[in-house]
Every structure is written in structure tokens, then in C-alpha cells.
């Protein structure tokens, strides 16, 4: 079997494996978990770990599968279709930086470790205002997704990374609900005991952040594709003036425009994944990620908003599944860098790349 055929088979199997967690068209589990703590199902998380998902990008020598970003993006795209709330992207981010027992516990599903790196809204780079001294950390981190489910946090500081137990003295967590029924956490650390993660360099953190940003773009791609499919189905079944409303030319034009946005996003995400999987300079890799994340953030908001409008009044009700996709896009569009931040970074990097 050729390398291309082998990789195509890997992608197919990964997408199929996601069906165990994302039953096609069934959002009852997602609805049941909304607006409560911890907002995830631990059994589902352990199932994800049993399938090796958090370690998909890790070398086999470190307990991972040794696969690339193309495979990881294919996986999280399927999770985006089903609006899966379990923090796989954040867990995989942490797994890329951990070693030893902490990594083993994460990969085994025994602990959920979430990175706490953000200090301002829409940021791309890790904030490093927190201080790590003599095994204790002090600082404040914002916008930690699904923070209440964490057993520990991987905290960025100007002295390196620190692993902090969620129940350690000096740790406090303030939870704020989000539009999609999930939550963000504000993590405050006051001389909290911590374990330094010496193996993680600043470059490694930056690479992990870019991988998480691209994975989030893939998740948004899956969400917008599913919302588009629901909309097309509605246009074909809802009748007005004796015929399906999908036969009206004006609505066909709007649907075609949304299809183009989705196709452009897919091309951008797949191109960025291929760039990250190649051994190349840092600047083109970061530029490809920024292009994909900016497009996914903008397109996901456009597609899901238009999907609501094309559904008419029913789209605005909580009972309609289509509204869940808009709410998810509203929450995730700015996570791991807003579209504006990524466009600005792409513009800074453009002179150093061969990208158009």
C-alpha cells in the first residue's frame, strides 16, 4: 500500500472511531450536559483515552500513536459535528508538554490536565506573568475551557511550566457559564504548590499552542459542516406555496455561498495540517495555522448565523438543534486567538514566507 493510501485509510479509521462518541444526529447527551458542572462525562473521557486520542500526536516511545496533524484534525472535525464537550484539544495540548507519571495518568484517563495559559481575551501567545519560585506558583489565568473538570492545571509562567493540582492550597477557580452551556474558568494561584515541568521549552509551548489552534479550526469546520447539512435538509423538507423552500432561487444562492465558505475553510485547514506535518521553518508553519484559524473563526460565525436565518423562526428556539451550533461557534471563535489576532500575525509573518 502506498504512503498516500495508507494515510487515507488512517483518516477513514479515525473518523469511524469517532462514531463511538458522536452518534450521528443525536445531541441528547450534549443537551443533558449543558449548564452544569463539570459539563462533561468522565466515562466518555476515559473511552477517548482508551482509544488513544489525547496521545494521537505523541511518539510511540512516549505512549502515543505517532500520527500527524492531518489525523488529529480529522478526529476533532468529527467531534465538532457532534459538539462534543469533552476537552480533547486541551488534553492533547497538555499531553504534548508533559512527561513521566503526569503524562501516563493523563493518557490512561485517570486525570484530566488542562493548560492554563491565557491572560487576555483573544490571545495567541502564552501569557507568562505568573511566577514560579521554589516549587510554588503565583498568578492568574483566564478563559480555561471546561475548567471545573480538571484534576490539575498546566500553568505557563515566566520561569517555565508548572503543574498544579486543582485541589492544592492556594488554588481558587471562578467559573463563568458560556453561551453553549459550557464554561470558562479563571484560575487564581496564591503561592500554590507546583511541580516544574522542565522538559517543556518555550518553543515546545508555542508549537503546542499552534497545534491546538489548528485543531480548534478543524472542530469549527466540523460544526459548520453539520449545521450546513441540517440547513440543507430543512430547505428540502419545509414547504411554502406548495413547494420546498429550497427550490427558491434566492435561498439556493445563499446556500451556495455558505458551501463555498466551508470548502475554503476545509482547504485552509488541510493545507495547514500538511504544513505542520512537514519539517519546515517555524514562520510558514505559524502563518498557515493563523490563516486557517482566522478563516474558520469568521466562516463558522457566518455559516451558523445564516443557518439560523434559513431555518426561520424555529431556528431561534432552544429546541432546534441548529441553535446549538451557533452558540458553539460564538464561544470558540476567539479561543486560541481571535480572527483579528491571527490575521495580524499572518501579516507579520508573510514577508518571511512563500505563502500568498
pLDDT in tens, 62-119: 999 999 999 999 999 999 999 999 999 999 999 999 999 999 999 999 999 999 999 9
Q: For residues 175 and 72, give the distance between their C-alpha atoms in angstroms, rounded to a whole number.
A: 29
What CATH code is carried by the domain that includes residue 265?
Answer: 1.20.140.10
Structural domain includes residue 53: no
User: Percentage of the chain surpassing pLDDT 90?
Assistant: 76
314 secondary structure, DSSP code: G
Q: Which residues contact 6 (CB under 8 A, 6 or more apart)?
A: none
CB 284 within 8 A of CB 353: yes
124 secondary structure, DSSP code: -
Structural domain includes residue 154: no
Instruction: Count the domains in the chain.
Output: 1
Structural domain includes residue 95: no
Per-residue pLDDT at 356 exceeds 50: no
Rounded to the nearest angstrom, the gap between the alpha carbon of residue 346 and the centroid of all alpha carbons in its chain is 20
Cell triple for residue 52? 488513544
Q: For residues 232 and 255, give the distance between their C-alpha atoms in angstroms, rounded to a whole number.
A: 8
CB 213 within 8 A of CB 285: no
CB count within 10 Å of CB 140 equals 16
Segment 277-291, tens digit of pLDDT: 998 889 999 999 999
What is the pairing mode between strands 136-145 and 171-177? unpaired
Q: Which residues contact 12 (CB under 8 A, 6 or more apart)?
A: none
Mean pLDDT of 288-314: 95
Q: For residues 117 and 305, give the distance between their C-alpha atoms in angstroms, rounded to a whole number.
A: 30
Structural domain includes residue 63: no
Q: Which domain holds residue 223?
A: 202-352
Amino acid at each position: 500500500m502506498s504512503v498516500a493510501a495508507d494515510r487515507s485509510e488512517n483518516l477513514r479509521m479515525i473518523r469511524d472511531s469517532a462514531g463511538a462518541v458522536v452518534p450521528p444526529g443525536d445531541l441528547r447527551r450534549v443537551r443533558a450536559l449543558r449548564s452544569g458542572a463539570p459539563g462533561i462525562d468522565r466515562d466518555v473521557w476515559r473511552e477517548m483515552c482508551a482509544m488513544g486520542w489525547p496521545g494521537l500526536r505523541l511518539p510511540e516511545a512516549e505512549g502515543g500513536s505517532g500520527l500527524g496533524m492531518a489525523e488529529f484534525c480529522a478526529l476533532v472535525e468529527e467531534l465538532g459535528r457532534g459538539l462534543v464537550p469533552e476537552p480533547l484539544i486541551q488534553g492533547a495540548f497538555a499531553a504534548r508538554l508533559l512527561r513521566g507519571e503526569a503524562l501516563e495518568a493523563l493518557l490512561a484517563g485517570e486525570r484530566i490536565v488542562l493548560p492554563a495559559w491565557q491572560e487576555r481575551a483573544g490571545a495567541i501567545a502564552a501569557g507568562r506573568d505568573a511566577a514560579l519560585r521554589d516549587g510554588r506558583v503565583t498568578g492568574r489565568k483566564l478563559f480555561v475551557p471546561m475548567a471545573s473538570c480538571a484534576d490539575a492545571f498546566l500553568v505557563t509562567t515566566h520561569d517555565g511550566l508548572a503543574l498544579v493540582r486543582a485541589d492544592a492550597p492556594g488554588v481558587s477557580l471562578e467559573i463563568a457559564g458560556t453561551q453553549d452551556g459550557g464554561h470558562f474558568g479563571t484560575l487564581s494561584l496564591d503561592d500554590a504548590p507546583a511541580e516544574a515541568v522542565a522538559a517543556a521549552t518555550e518553543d515546545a509551548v508555542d508549537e503546542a499552542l499552534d497545534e491546538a489552534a489548528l485543531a480548534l479550526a478543524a472542530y469549527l469546520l466540523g460544526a459548520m459542516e453539520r449545521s450546513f447539512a441540517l440547513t440543507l435538509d430543512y430547505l428540502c423538507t419545509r414547504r411554502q406555496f406548495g413547494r420546498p423552500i429550497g427550490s427558491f432561487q434566492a435561498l439556493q444562492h445563499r446556500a451556495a455561498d455558505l458551501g463555498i465558505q466551508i470548502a475554503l475553510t476545509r482547504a485552509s485547514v488541510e493545507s495547514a495540517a500538511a504544513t505542520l506535518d512537514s519539517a519546515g521553518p517555524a514562520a510558514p508553519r505559524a502563518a498557515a495555522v493563523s490563516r486557517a484559524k482566522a478563516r474558520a473563526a469568521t466562516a463558522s460565525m457566518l455559516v451558523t448565523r445564516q443557518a439560523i436565518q434559513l431555518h426561520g423562526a424555529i431556528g431561534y428556539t432552544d429546541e432546534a438543534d441548529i441553535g446549538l451550533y451557533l452558540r458553539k461557534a460564538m464561544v470558540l471563535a476567539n479561543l486560541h486567538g481571535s480572527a483579528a489576532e491571527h490575521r495580524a500575525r499572518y501579516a507579520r509573518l508573510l514577508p518571511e514566507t512563500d505563502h500568498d
